[in-house]
Amino acid sequence: MTDSLSTPITKIVKRNGSVVPYDRDRIATAIFKAAATVGGSDREMAEALAVKVEQAVAGTYGLNSIPTVEDIQDLVEKTLIEEGHAKTSRAYILYRAKRAEARESRAMQGEYSDNIPYKKIYEILRWNMDHGCDTVEGINQLIAAGQYPDLVRAVEQRYDEEVRRGAEQMLERIPGIRIVIIAGPSSSGKTTTTIKASEKLSEAGIQLKAINVDHYFFDLEMHPKDEFGDYDYETPQALDLELINFHLTELLAGRTIKTPHYDFKTGKRQLEVHEMALEDNEIVLIDSLHGLYDAMTHSIPADQKFRLYIETLGQVRTRDGIFMRWADNRLMRRMIRDSWHRNLQPLQTLTHWHYVRRSELRNIIPFISSVDYVVNSAMPHELPIMKNKLFRYFPEAMELYKDDPKRQDAYVRAKRVHDMLSGLTEMPDDQHIPQKSLLREFIGGSQYSY
C-alpha cells in the first residue's frame, strides 16, 4: 500500500510517446473538477482517490511500471465507480470525451498549432537551440557564464528584424491596402509592435492613423458578465461593431467622422466626440485584441486589409522537457503590467485570466490562418526577470485556490507556472533590457509612450 506521500509511479507515457515525470496532482485535480460539476467540493477526497488510482495502477501493471495516460484514465473511471462515486465517474467520462474531441479537432488542422504554421514554430525552436535558450537549463547556463546581455541583444535583434520585414510587406502592397490590422491576444506586445512598424512606414512617407477601438465599448451595464459576475471586456460583443464598420467605410470614402469617447472610470461612452479624417499618405490602423474578428471589419474588402498577427511563440522547455505554454508567458506579462497600470494585484489578474483565454480561443485563434504576417514576440531573456517579479505569488495562489472548485483553472495555471519557474535562475534587475524593448511595455521604463 502506498501512503499519501510516496507513489509507485514515477513516469508516464504521453499520447505522443514521450516519457515524462508523473504528477499525482494532475489526477487529483481532474477528479476534483469532475466532482465539482456534480456538486462535490472535497479536495482531500479527490487526493485520496488519486492515491487509490495509483494503487490500482501498481496492482494492474506492477510496481515501478510506466503506464500510459490512457491506462491511468481507465483506472480513474474504474476506481471512482468501485469507491462509490458513480456520479463523479460519469462526469469524468464526459470530461475525458470532450478532451478527446478537442484533440481530434486539433489533429484535423494538420499544419497548425493554435492556427500557427508549424514551419514558423520550427524556425523559432531552431533559433532558440542555436542560441542556447531552448531550455530552462540552457538559460541558466548563459546567466552563469555571464552571457545574459548577449542573449538580450540577440533576441531583441531577432524581434526587431521580424517587425521590419512585416512593415516591408505592408509597403509592397500600397496603395492597395487601406487598413492595417495589428492583432494578437492579451499581452502579446501589440502596442510596441505597432510603434516599431509605424517607424518603418514613416521612413517611406506612410503614416498609420489609429482608430481607437476602445472608445467603441458599449456602456458597462450592457457588457456580458462571466460566472463570477465580472464584466467581460475580452469579448468583441462588448464593442459596437456596427458603428466601427460604418466609421471605417466613411473614412475610406474620404469623409470626416466623429468617434465616441469611452470613460473606463464611469463605464459610460459619449457619441461623436473625436473628429477623424484621413490624409492622402495615411492608412487606418486597427490595433486591437480582436482585430482579426471578421465582424469588426466586415464592411471592408479583404484585399484592402493587411493583417499582422503577434503572439509569444516561445519554444522553451522545462527540465522535464515540457514546453512552456504561450498563454502562460502572456499571463506573467499581464500580471506585472496590471499591477502598475491598472492597480490590480497579480492574483486578481490570475483569476481573471480564465475568460481572457476563453475569448482568445473563440474570437482570435479561429482567424489566425487568414493573416498576412506573423511576428513572434516571445523573449527567452524575459523569463528570469519574470521569476524575480512574480515567483512569490504562485505558492500563495496554489494554497488559496487548491480547494476552491470554482478556481481550479487558476490553481492549475499557478502550479504550472510555478513548476516552470522553480528551476530557473532569476535575474534581480532589468538593467540589460533596452529602453525600446517590447518587454518594457510590461515592466515599465520604456522610451515609448503607451
Reported as a single tens digit per residue, the pLDDT across 244-283 is 999 999 999 999 999 999 998 888 999 999 999 999 999 9
Q: Find residue 310's DSSP bridge partners.
A: 375
Residues 278, 407 within the same domain: yes
- Where residue 153 falls (left for φ over 0; alpha for ψ -120 to 50; beta otherwise) is alpha
- For residue 236, say if its preceding peptide bond is cis, omega within 30 degrees of 0: no
Residues 53, 147 within the same domain: no
Residue 6 lies in a domain: no
Residues 104, 146 within the same domain: no
Cell of 342: 491598472
- What number is the average pLDDT over the span 383-411? 95
316 and 383 Cβ atoms separated by less than 8 Å: yes
Phi/psi of residue 85, nearest 5 degrees = -115, 60
Q: Which of 106-110, 116-120, 416-420 has the lowest mean pLDDT?
A: 106-110
Give the Cα separation of 248 and 210 in Å (integer).
11
- What number is the average pLDDT over the span 54-79? 88
Residue 2 lies in a domain: no
Residues 285, 166 within the same domain: yes
Residues 370, 389 within the same domain: yes
H or E segment and range at residue 13 = strand 11-13
Can you give the pTM of this predicted structure? 0.82
- Residues 6 or more apart whose Cβ sits within 8 Å of residue 373: 165, 166, 169, 306, 307, 308, 309
Residues 99, 134 within the same domain: no
322: DSSP letter = P
pLDDT of residue 376 exceeding 70: yes
Residues 406, 262 within the same domain: yes
Cell of 228: 463570477
The pLDDT tens digits for 117-128 are 888 999 999 999
Residues 86, 157 within the same domain: no
pLDDT, mean over the chain: 90
Q: How confident is the model at residue 399 (pLDDT cuts 50, 70, 90)?
A: very high
Give the Cα separation of 164 and 192 in Å (integer).
13
Considering its fold, how many domains does the chain have in total?
Answer: 2
Q: How confident is the model at residue 93 (pLDDT cuts 50, 70, 90)?
A: confident
Give the Cα separation of 290 and 271 in Å (integer).
21
Residues 137, 99 within the same domain: no
At residue 267, the pLDDT reads 86
Residue 392 lies in a domain: yes
Structural domain range at position 186: 112-443
Give the Cα separation of 187 and 369 in Å (integer).
20
* 190 burial level (CB within 10 Å; 0-12, 13-18, 19+): buried
Cell of 154: 540577440
Q: What percent of the chain has pLDDT over 90?
A: 66
* 43 burial level (CB within 10 Å; 0-12, 13-18, 19+): buried
Regarding beta strands 282-288 and 179-183, do their DSSP bridges make them parallel or antiparallel, or are they unpaired?
A: parallel
Q: How confident is the model at residue 4 (pLDDT cuts 50, 70, 90)?
A: very low
The pLDDT tens digits for 6-20 are 678 888 888 777 788
203 and 170 Cβ atoms separated by less than 8 Å: no
Residues 396, 325 within the same domain: yes
User: For residues 265 and 170, which has the higher predicted lDDT (pLDDT)?
Assistant: 170
User: For residues 332 and 224, which has the higher predicted lDDT (pLDDT)?
Assistant: 332
CATH of the domain at 371: 3.40.50.300
Domain boundary among 86, 109, 132: 109
